[in-house]
Amino acid sequence: MSGLSDSSSLIAFGVDIAQGWAQGITVPAPAAAVATIGRIAPGETWERVQFGRATLTADATVGNRTILIQIVDVTGNVWWEAPASLAVVASTSVEVSFSTGIYPALAASGVSVVPIPDTVLQAGFGFQLTATLVGAADAWGPLRLYTQRFPSEAVHVGPAG
């Protein structure tokens, strides 16, 4: 019998979800020079990220940073990835705003808009923003996510019936 961790069941049969709720979630800003900010869905819920935003402020260290938005599992494996900005140069900030059902408008400073897949993430999967070539004082602001959350026991994976 297929279980919740059986990815072939997700592909072959889809997911039926009982009633859930909407919730805003804020991930606190990490220390300076940390390349990644993100959140993994806890074991008690599956989640659909509807939209969110975070800001990267680059320090004066010379070099271009690239921001990527990713869907990852709890072990750090990347399952989906897309660029979330153009090259971010020293001493600039870029706010990455992302949502389902929008068109991209990537920027090197100011606001960069990124479409994300409309998918339900099982427990142990999550969204993260990663910057390359971070300087010693580069800093992420908090990551704000608006999610739909579904209790894990309310999710049915497999054939109907």
The answer to whether position 2 is within a domain reads: no
77, part of any domain: yes
Does a structural domain hold residue 40? yes
3-state secondary structure of 7: helix
Residue 1 within any structural domain of the chain: no
The percent of residues in the chain predicted with pLDDT above 70, rounded, is 85
Q: What is the pLDDT of residues 108-126, one digit of tens each?
A: 999 999 999 999 899 999 9
Give the CATH number for residue 97.
Answer: 2.60.120
Its pTM stands at: 0.83
Q: How confident is the model at residue 159 (pLDDT cuts 50, 70, 90)?
A: low
Range of the domain at 46: 7-157
Min mean pLDDT across 10-24, 34-48, 116-130 is at: 10-24
Q: Is residue 55 part of a domain?
A: yes
Residue 68 lies inside a defined structural domain of this protein:
yes
Q: How sure is the predictor about 3, in pLDDT bands with cuts at 50, 70 and 90?
A: very low
pLDDT of residue 53: 97
Q: Who contacts 151 (Cβ-Cβ below 8 Å, separation ≥6)?
A: 18, 20, 44, 45
Average pLDDT over the chain, rounded to an integer: 87
**Separation in Å, CA 127 to CA 21, 72, 107, 122, 156:** 19, 6, 20, 12, 22
CB 138 within 8 A of CB 57: yes
Tell me how many domains the chain contains.
1
